[in-house]
Amino acid sequence: MTVFTVISVSTFNRNDRNLFGYRTYVVKTDSMSKTDFNAGDLIFVKEVNPKDLKPGDIITYISQNSESFGETITHKIRKLTTDAEGNPGFITYGTTTDTDDEVVVTYPYILGKYQNNIPKLGTFFNFLKTTQGYFTCIFIPFMLLIIYQGINFVRLFRRYKKEQMEEMQEERNKLEAERAENAKMLAELQALKAQFEEQKNVSSDQTASTNSNTENKI
């Protein structure tokens, strides 16, 4: 949303900005709603050579009419003509009223030829640029995203600590098992040692007894 807002502020309705030869404008009136687009639609306009334009084309131009002087207008060409000074231009009109514009649109004021539109997207971007739109579509969702990510972080941290404690407990259990096994082996070794000592003592006693009997016989 933030990116779209920046794009809309820096690009839309800017005669000095274009992208790959295209400009974007938000339609302000319904002067063309009868046939092509409505107020609030986002339109795409491509730079063209005015000499290539013909009747029936829809063009965007800087208005020289008294009521809309300096505004960006998008109307249809009715026919080719010249102004009072003999400069080539076009008679344009809005299809809703079918009334010719006041002043002939000469080449220097033409911004481009209409290509396509996205319905109501312009209204949405205009709303984004308002305070209400900023809070509704950017600030509040951004804060909710932060809260959501914070909750996820806490959950992940708790799960990590739980898994860490489980691993530590598993290591403890493993060490206890190894200690028990070692103690068992030590006990078995001590038992074997005791048995060996006992057998050694019995063997020594038997040898001593045999030697005593031999001496008595002698």
* Selection from 18, 12, 70, 78 nearest residue 43 by Cα: 12
Mean pLDDT within 44-53 = 94
Specify the DSSP element, H or E, that contains 93. strand 88-94
Single pTM value for the model: 0.61
Concatenated DSSP letters for 1-60?
Answer: -HHHHHHHHHTTT-TT--BTTEEEEE--S-TTTTTT--TT-EEEEE---GGG--TT-EEE
pLDDT above 70 covers what percent of the chain?
Answer: 84
Mean pLDDT of the chain: 87
Residue 27: what pLDDT?
93
Q: Is the pLDDT of residue 51 over 80?
A: yes
User: Please, which pLDDT band fits residue 17 given cuts at 50, 70 and 90?
Assistant: low
User: Please, which pLDDT band fits residue 149 given cuts at 50, 70 and 90?
Assistant: very high
Residue 73: what pLDDT?
95
